C-alpha cells in the first residue's frame, strides 16, 4: 500500500511539472498563417513555434506559446533582407520595419576599412533589426588620394562630405605606392570582419584602372568574400552597362571569387541578367539586385551627370530627368551649374528608365531586392520617434521598396513565391554560400532557422512613399519578428533595440594582402617601360605597374 502511495505521488508530481511546459511550449507562436519558404517552394497553412530565437516547429498541429500572433489570412515569410541600404541610423529603423525589413546592409559603399569594427560596435544593442557593412573602396581612395580623415559616421553620410571637398577619390590614378596603401586599408577592413568589398566604381570613371579592380576582387576572394560593385559605366546605355558588368564577371571567373552586381535595373538589364544566370549555371557565385523604381537618386555632382556624359553621350535632358529631392523642381544645365557652386552633393532624383520595365525586373528569377535607400539630409536632429511627416524628403525606395515589389507582383500576376524569394532568399543564398553563417540561417522558413519573419497581407500590402513624399510608411505588413523578438505588432514598431544582431565575419588575424611591385606585375610582359595614360612617362609607377 505504501509503495502504491509513493508511486501515485510521483505520478502526480510528474504531471504537475509537465503542465507549465504544455501550457507554453514556445516563446512565440504564429497561428494559422500561410507559410512560404522560397528554398523548398513550400506554401501551406501552418502554425509556427519559435523558441530561443529560432524556428522550433512548423506544423498543422495545435501549439501554444507565451505569446501568440493570429496570422489568419496573412503570409508568414522569411524576414526581408535589404543588402543595399545606405542609412543605418535610428531614425530609419521604423520605416525599415514598416516595409518588412529585418536585415539592412550596405554592400555598395561600406565603411572605412580601419573603422569597420568601430562601425559594428556603435550599433550593437541599439538596433531592432540586423545590420551589416562591407569595406569601402571609395573611402580608402579618399583617404589616400585626398587625405580625407574626418570619419564622423564611418560610412555613407561621410561620402556627402568627402565628395564635396576634393575629387581625387574619383578622378586620380594612384601610383603603385598609393595603390598598395589603398589595398592595405581594404585588407584591414576584411580582417575586422567586413562582409566583403563595396565599390562605387560607376562614380570613378576616369580614376580607376582595370588592374585596380582586378586586385580588389583578388583580395576579397582571398578571404572568400564578394565584391559588391556599382559597376563601371553605370548608368549608361545598353552597350556600356553590359561592358561594365563583363569586367566584374570576367575577373570573378578568372579568380573564382563571388561578385554582386548592384542595381542593374538600367538599359541592357536583360543581357546583364542572362550573363548572371549563365555564370550561375556554371557554378560561379554571382548575383544581382534591382530596386523597383524607374528613377534613381544620387548627388548632384556625380561624374556621370556631367553634360558631356548625361546630355551629349546618353542623350538625356536635365529638364526631363534631373529633379531636386527637396523642391521637386527639375534642373536645367544652368541651374545645375549654379547649384553645384552652392551645394555640390545636394540629393537629386534621376529618371532613367520607362515605368513599364519595373514589372519585368520583378519577373527576373534569382534577382534580389536592394533599396539603395539614401541618408536623409539633414539628419543630425532626427530620432527614432521623429514623425514620418517631419522627416526630410528622399527617394521613395527608402521607405517602400519591398512593399512595392509585393504590390507589383500582385498587380501583374507574378507568382507570389517569386516576390517572396526576391525579398529574402535571393540575398541570403549567395551570401551564405560564400560562408557568411548569419545568412545560412536566414531567408528561409524552416525548422532550425533564425526566426527573422515578416508577416504581411498579400491582398493589401502596398507602398505609400512617393517622389513628392518619400518617407510615408508601407502598409499591409502588421507584424515583424527579428531573432525571435517581435519588433512590430499591429503595424506599430516597438522599441526593441536588443533584437538586431551584427551580420559580419569573425575578425581574422592573418593578413592576406601582400604589397605589389612592378616586377611581379609587369616584368615578364614588358621589355621596356610603357605609359598607358596613368601618369607622366618616367614618373613614379602607377597602378598599371608603370
**What is the C-alpha separation between 277 and 288, in angstroms, rounded?**
10
pLDDT of residue 205: 78
Q: Taking the CB of residue 267, how many other CB atoms lie within 10 A of it?
A: 20
β 197-199/130-136 pair status: parallel
pLDDT of residue 8: 46
Model pLDDT for residues 279-337, shown as the tens digit of each residue: 999 999 999 999 999 999 999 999 899 999 999 999 999 999 999 999 999 999 999 99
Query: Is residue 484 in some structural domain?
Result: yes
pLDDT of residue 23: 52
Q: Please, is 430 exposed, middle or buried when counting C-beta atoms within 10 Å of its C-beta (0-12, 13-18, 19+)?
A: buried
Q: Within 343-396, where are the H helices?
A: 357-362
**Predicted confidence band of residue 381 (pLDDT cuts 50, 70, 90):** confident
134-138, 202-206, 379-383, 453-457: the lowest-pLDDT one: 379-383
Query: Is residue 449 in some structural domain?
Result: yes
List the one residue out of 110, 181, 187, 177 whose CA is nearest residue 143. 181
**Predicted confidence band of residue 540 (pLDDT cuts 50, 70, 90):** very low
pLDDT of residue 210: 92
Query: Is residue 300 in some structural domain?
Result: no
Query: Is residue 3 in some structural domain?
Result: no
Query: Number of helices (H) and strands (E), helices first, in the chain?
Result: 19, 21
Query: Is residue 95 in some structural domain?
Result: yes
Indicate if the pLDDT at residue 41 is higher than 50.
yes
**What is the C-alpha separation between 196 and 135, in angstroms, rounded?**
6
pLDDT of residue 145: 96
**What is the C-alpha separation between 99 and 89, in angstroms, rounded?**
16
Model pLDDT for residues 213-236, shown as the tens digit of each residue: 999 999 999 999 999 999 999 999
Average pLDDT over residues 166-184: 93
List the one residue out of 208, 198, 202 whose CA is nearest residue 168. 208
Indicate if the pLDDT at residue 1 is higher than 70.
no
Q: Which domain holds residue 178?
A: 77-294+353-503
Average pLDDT over residues 423-442: 98
| DSSP-based three-state secondary structure for 33 | strand
Q: Which residues on neighbouring strands pair with residue 130, listed in sequence order? A: 103
Which DSSP string do the residues of 44-113 spell out, in sequence order? Answer: EEEEEEEETTEEEEEESS---EEEEEE-TT-EEEEPEEESBBS--SHHHHHHHHHTTEEEEEEEEEEE-G
pLDDT of residue 12: 47
pLDDT of residue 24: 76
pLDDT of residue 308: 93
Query: Is residue 313 in some structural domain?
Result: no
Q: Which residues of 233-263 are buried (b: 16+ CB within 10 A; e: fewer)?
A: bbbbeeebbbebbebbbebbeebebbbbbbb
Q: Which residues on neighbouring strands pair with residue 542, listed in sequence order? A: 175
| DSSP-based three-state secondary structure for 35 | strand
Domain count, the chain: 1
Mean pLDDT score across all residues of the chain: 91
pLDDT of residue 206: 79
58-62, 299-303, 475-479: the lowest-pLDDT one: 299-303
| CA atoms within 13 A of residue 374's CA, in its CB half-sphere | 21
C-alpha cell at 252: 570573378
Query: Is residue 493 in some structural domain?
Result: yes
Model pLDDT for residues 491-534, shown as the tens digit of each residue: 999 999 999 999 999 999 999 999 988 765 444 333 334 333 34
Q: Which residues of 2-11 are buried (b: 16+ CB within 10 A; e: fewer)?
A: eeeeeeeeee
pLDDT of residue 377: 78
pLDDT of residue 105: 98
Compute φ and ψ for 307, nearest 5 degrees: -55, -40
Query: Is residue 409 in some structural domain?
Result: yes
β 42-51/54-59 pair status: antiparallel
pLDDT of residue 544: 38
C-alpha cell at 207: 580614376
pLDDT of residue 535: 39
Compute φ and ψ for 47, nearest 5 degrees: -105, 140
pLDDT of residue 455: 99
Q: Is residue 546 within 8 Å of residue 530, measured between CB atoms?
A: yes
The CATH number for 158's domain is 3.20.20.140
Indicate if the pLDDT at residue 17 is higher than 50.
no
**Predicted confidence band of residue 14 (pLDDT cuts 50, 70, 90):** very low
Average pLDDT over residues 532-545: 38
**What is the C-alpha separation between 394 and 470, in angstroms, rounded?**
5
Query: Which residue in this structure is represented by grid cell 537618386?
Result: 297
Tell me the pTM.
0.91
Which DSSP string do the residues of 409-466 spell out, in sequence order? Answer: HHHTT--HHHHHHHHTHHHHHHHHHTT-HHHHTSS--STTSB--EEEE-TTT-B----
Average pLDDT over residues 81-85: 98
Amino acid at each position: 500500500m505504501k509503495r502504491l502511495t509513493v508511486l501515485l505521488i510521483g505520478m502526480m508530481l510528474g504531471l504537475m511539472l509537465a503542465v507549465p511546459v504544455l501550457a507554453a511550449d514556445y516563446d512565440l507562436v504564429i497561428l494559422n498563417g500561410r507559410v512560404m519558404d522560397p528554398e523548398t517552394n513550400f506554401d501551406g497553412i501552418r502554425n509556427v513555434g519559435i523558441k530561443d530565437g529560432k524556428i522550433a516547429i512548423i506544423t498543422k498541429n495545435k501549439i501554444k506559446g507565451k505569446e501568440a500572433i493570429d496570422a489568419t489570412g496573412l503570409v508568414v515569410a522569411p524576414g526581408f533582407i535589404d543588402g543595399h541600404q545606405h542609412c543605418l541610423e535610428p531614425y530609419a529603423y521604423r520605416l525599415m520595419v514598416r516595409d518588412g525589413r529585418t536585415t539592412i546592409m550596405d554592400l555598395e559603399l561600406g565603411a572605412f576599412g580601419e573603422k569597420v569594427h568601430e562601425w559594428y560596435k556603435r550599433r550593437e544593442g541599439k538596433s531592432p533589426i540586423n545590420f551589416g557593412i562591407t569595406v569601402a573602396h571609395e573611402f580608402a581612395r579618399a583617404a589616400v588620394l585626398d587625405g580625407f580623415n574626418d570619419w564622423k559616421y564611418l560610412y555613407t553620410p561621410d561620402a556627402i562630405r568627402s565628395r564635396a571637398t576634393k575629387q581625387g577619390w574619383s578622378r586620380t590614378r594612384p601610383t603603385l605606392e598609393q595603390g598598395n596603401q589603398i589595398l592595405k586599408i581594404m585588407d584591414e577592413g576584411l580582417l575586422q570582419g567586413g562582409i566583403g568589398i563595396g565599390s562605387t566604381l560607376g562614380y570613378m570613371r576616369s580614376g580607376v584602372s582595370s588592374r585596380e579592380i582586378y586586385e580588389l576582387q583578388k583580395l576579397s576572394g582571398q578571404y572568400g568574400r564578394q565584391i559588391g560593385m556599382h559597376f563601371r559605366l553605370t548608368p549608361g546605355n545598353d552597350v556600356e552597362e553590359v561592358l561594365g558588368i563583363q569586367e566584374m564577371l570576367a575577373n570573378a571567373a578568372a579568380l573564382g571569387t563571388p561578385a554582386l552586381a548592384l542595381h542593374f535595373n538600367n538599359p541592357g538589364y536583360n543581357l546583364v541578367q542572362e550573363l548572371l544566370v549563365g555564370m550561375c549555371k556554371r557554378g560561379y557565385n554571382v548575383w544581382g539586385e534591382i530596386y523597383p523604381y524607374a528613377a534613381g537618386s544620387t548627388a548632384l555632382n556625380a561624374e556621370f551627370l556631367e553634360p558631356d556624359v548625361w546630355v551629349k553621350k546618353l542623350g538625356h535632358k536635365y529638364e526631363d530627368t534631373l529633379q531636386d529631392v527637396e523642391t521637386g523642381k527639375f534642373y536645367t544645365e544652368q541651374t545645375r551649374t549654379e547649384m553645384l557652386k552652392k551645394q555640390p552633393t545636394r540629393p537629386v532624383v534621376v529618371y532613367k528608365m520607362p515605368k513599364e520595365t519595373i514589372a519585368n525586373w520583378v519577373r527576373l528569377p534569382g534577382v534580389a531586392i536592394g533599396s539603395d535607400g539614401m541618408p536623409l539630409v539633414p539628419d543630425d536632429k532626427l530620432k527614432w520617434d521623429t514623425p514620418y511627416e517631419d522627416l526630410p524628403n528622399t527617394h521613395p525606395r527608402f521607405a517602400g521598396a519591398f512593399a512595392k515589389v509585393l504590390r507589383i507582383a500582385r498587380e501583374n500576376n507574378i507568382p507570389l513565391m517569386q516576390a517572396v524569394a526576391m525579398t529574402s532568399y535571393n540575398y541570403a543564398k549567395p551570401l551564405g554560400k560564400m560562408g557568411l553563417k548569419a545568412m545560412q540561417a536566414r531567408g528561409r522558413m524552416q525548422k532550425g532557422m533564425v526566426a527573422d519573419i515578416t508577416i504581411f497581407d498579400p491582398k493589401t500590402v502596398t507602398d505609400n512613399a512617393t517622389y513628392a513624399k518619400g518617407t510615408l510608411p508601407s502598409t499591409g505588413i502588421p507584424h515583424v519578428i527579428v531573432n525571435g523578438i517581435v519588433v512590430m505588432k499591429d503595424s506599430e514598431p516597438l522599441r526593441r533595440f536588443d533584437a538586431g544582431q551584427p551580420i559580419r565575419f569573425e575578425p581574422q588575424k592573418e593578413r592576406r594582402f601582400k604589397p605589389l611591385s612592378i616586377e611581379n606585375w609587369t616584368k615578364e610582359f614588358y621589355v621596356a617601360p610603357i605609359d598607358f595614360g596613368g601618369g607622366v612617362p618616367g614618373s613614379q609607377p602607377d597602378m598599371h605597374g608603370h
